Amino acid sequence: MFTPFSTGYYIGSAFVEPVTDSTIPRLSSNQYRVIETEIYAQSNNHPLIRLEENTGHFPIEDGRNLQANTLEMPIRLLPDDFIAEVKSILVAKPQSGIHSMLHSSDKF
């Protein structure tokens, strides 16, 4: 599902659906479990993702009850002209330093 992409990321894909009733991105359980057990198993960090065309990093939650391979993104985190479709998503590697940079600036 997720393959090494660079020194800082794994890459995968999901149907990205904008939602208005959520404040944090939620990833379908099948993909979230892979990230937690295979990528973040030895880390105390919370999984971070970003859309390939977006520079922001976002913590994600387990999207129980979502269809497989779906990422629900709060609409406020997406561009105004965003179209719901399958998109590449990047998962920050826990040891990449991205977590440290984000926590030191207190921004996500």
Give 38-70 pLDDT, tens digit per residue: 999 888 888 899 988 776 888 999 999 999 999
- For the record, the structure tokens of 25 come out as 């991105």
Q: What is the CATH number of domain 3-96?
A: 2.40.40.20
- For the record, the structure tokens of 69 come out as 């391979």
The pLDDT, as a whole number, for residue 1 is 78
| Global pTM value | 0.85
Looking at residues 4-19, what average pLDDT do you find? Answer: 94
- For the record, the structure tokens of 54 come out as 């977006």
Q: Around 39, how many Cα atoms within 13 Å sit in the side-chain half-sphere?
A: 28
Closest by Cα among 54, 83, 71 to 1: 71
Q: Is 50 exceeded by the pLDDT of residue 107?
A: no
